[in-house]
Structure 1
Amino acid sequence: MKSSVRPSASDAAAKGAKRGTTSAARKVAPETAKDAPPRRKRLTRAELAGESREKIFEAAAAVVGEHGYADASISKITEKAGIAQGTFYLYFASRQALFDELLPHIGQDMITYIGHAIHNANNVYEVEEKGFRAFFAYLQQSPGFFQILNQAETWSPKAHARHLKLLTQHYVASLKRSVDRGEVKAFDEKELEVMAYVFMGARSYLYMRYLKGAKSGAKLPQWVVNAYMKLVRDGFR
């Protein structure tokens, strides 16, 4: 004799839910929060624009550094950046517009690199030696920078002037801190820009003489560093 007791609506729903869950579990294995792949943060329109501009700058630095400004076509730059040529014009009106921003943009990378190198220096002599070494280390890891710098004077005088102004401002500010600490006594504040240009010029010409075109991994001879520091020590007294 069949039972006259019928399952309640709640019991039936529970059984159905259980069957549905079991069925679904057979089809798709549950994914825990630990197993789930990390989701990349969705970039804003401004962040995407900044990312694209940076890709163009990086590609332009690589192309100009290897081929020079004359052969750095928009097609080569966009191919290197992995973007369409039409995208280029969303950020730069022309190739020259890019050139007019290129050197100051990548020049800031060099300034930041040297700034990190001298961060823990204890006095003006350590600042100069660490900054001197960092300059050559940067050019060794970014060999195209020197060509971008040298050719900019012809291909983009505005960019060249802006870069030199920015570089000199940082150098003079560093020298002024040494003056304020009483470490540099031989020069007035108005003469610090002269010293900045003297030292920057020395670095560039020493690079051309001892490292430009050298084999990969070549280092500036220690005696060259010593000679430079003799000039610094005698000059600052």
Structure 2
Amino acid sequence: MRQRIVESTARIIGERGYAEASVARIVDDVGISQGTFYRYFETRQDLFDIVLPTYAERMLTFIQEHVDAESTGIEREMQRMKAFLDFVADHPWFARIVDEANVQAPAGNDAYFDRVVNGYVRTLQRAVDRGEIVGYDPEDLEGIALALLAARSYYAKVYLSSMGHVGKSRDAVLKGYRAFVERALFMPPCR
């Protein structure tokens, strides 16, 4: 039941925003009473603060399942991006949850960014350790992770906004992302 409430809330937030995700709307969507809702969550805010971290874990698991463990360098990064776009296509409301969370669910937003950014930094560090990324200091990796996450987020919005309208949007997004990331990370620095 708890999971059903979280899933319903995620869809409602994605379609209408956090402000319109009232307990009444959520329980109506799930088909439960408000009393049942409050057995699982003390407040609506408690629910809001777990929605984004819950879907962050789902997203990260999905990406991990769609990346070949043997791939390296730019090919590995492109597999991650493709999996991210596939996740976003399956959960088109995810971008709105992320966008509004910093104001409407700050604790959930902090947990999301802590998990996602730190995970990406570890991923980049492994690429550095394997010699796939060179020319960056370890303290640069958090800034790089943030830049790549911001690029992914924006690419996802463009991709979602053109779904059903522009058949080649996915290819264009992936081509642009590859050109950017390949030059920024996976080419040796000029001397």
Provide the TM-score with structure 1 as the length reference: 0.73
Q: 145, 161, 182: which one pairs with 2:131?
A: 182
Question: Separation in 2 of the partners of 1:77 and 1:207?
Answer: 26
CA distance in 2: counterparts of 1:191 and 1:127, whole angstroms: 20
Q: What is the Cα deviation at residue 181 of structure 1?
A: 1.0
Does the alignment pair 1:80 with 2:29?
yes
Q: 1:102 aligns with which of 35, 38, 51?
A: 51
Alpha-carbon RMSD across the aligned residues, in angstroms, is 1.9
Identify the match of residue 207 of structure 1 among 156, 173, 177. 156
Tell me the distance in 2 between the aligned counterparts of 1:83 and 1:161. 30
Work out the CA distance in 2 between the residues paired with 1:90 and 1:234: 52
Once the two structures are superposed, residues 140-185 of structure 1 have per-residue CA deviations (whole angstroms, 9 ceiling, x without a partner) of 1111111111111111122112111111111111111111111111
**Counterpart in the other structure of 2:180:** 231
Instruction: Evaluate the alpha carbon distance shift between residue 69 and residue 216 of structure 1 in structure 2; reply closer, same or farther with a 3 A threshold.
Output: farther
Structure 1 unpaired stretches of 5+: 1-51
Is the Cα contact below 8 Å between 2:92 and 2:160 reproduced in 1?
no
- Local SS of the residue matching 1:83: coil
Q: What does 1:60-75 correspond to in 2, within 5 Å?
A: 60-75=9-24
The answer to whether the 8 A contact 1:59-1:77 is kept is yes
Unaligned runs of 5+ in 2: none
1:212 is paired with a residue whose SS is helix
> Are the equivalent residues in 1 in contact too, given 2:163–2:169 (CA < 8 A)?
no
1:90 is paired with a residue whose SS is: helix
Cα distance between partner residues in 2 of 1:192 and 1:58: 33
Residue 5 (structure 2) aligns with: 56
Q: Aligned equivalents of 2:123 and 2:77: distance in 1?
A: 10
**1:213: Cα distance to partner?**
5.5
Instruction: Kindly indicate whether the alpha-carbon contact (under 8 Å) linking 1:211 and 1:218 is maintained by their aligned counterparts in 2.
Output: no
Q: Compared with structure 1, are the counterparts of its residues 191 and 55 closer, same or farther at alpha carbon in structure 2 (3 Å cutoff)?
A: same
Give aligned pairs, total: 186
TM-score, normalised relative to structure 2? 0.89
The structure with the largest alpha-carbon Rg is: 1
In the aligned structure 2, how far is the partner of 1:149 from the partner of 1:115? 20
More helix by share: 2
1:137 aligns with 2:81: no
The equivalent residue for 1:152 is 101
Alignment-derived partner of residue 169 in structure 2: 220
Range with greater deviation from structure 2 (153-162 or 218-227): 218-227
Taking the aligned partners of 1:86 and 1:106, their CA distance within structure 2 comes to 25
How far is 1:68 from its partner?
1.2
Percent identical pairs in the alignment equals 34
Q: 1:221 to 1:66 in 2, by over 3 A?
A: closer
Residue 128 in 1 paired to residue 77 in 2? yes
Shift of 1:218: 5.0
Do the aligned partners of 1:64 and 1:72 also contact (CA within 8 Å) in 2?
A: yes
3-state DSSP class of the match of 2:115?
helix
2:32 is aligned with what amino acid? Answer: I
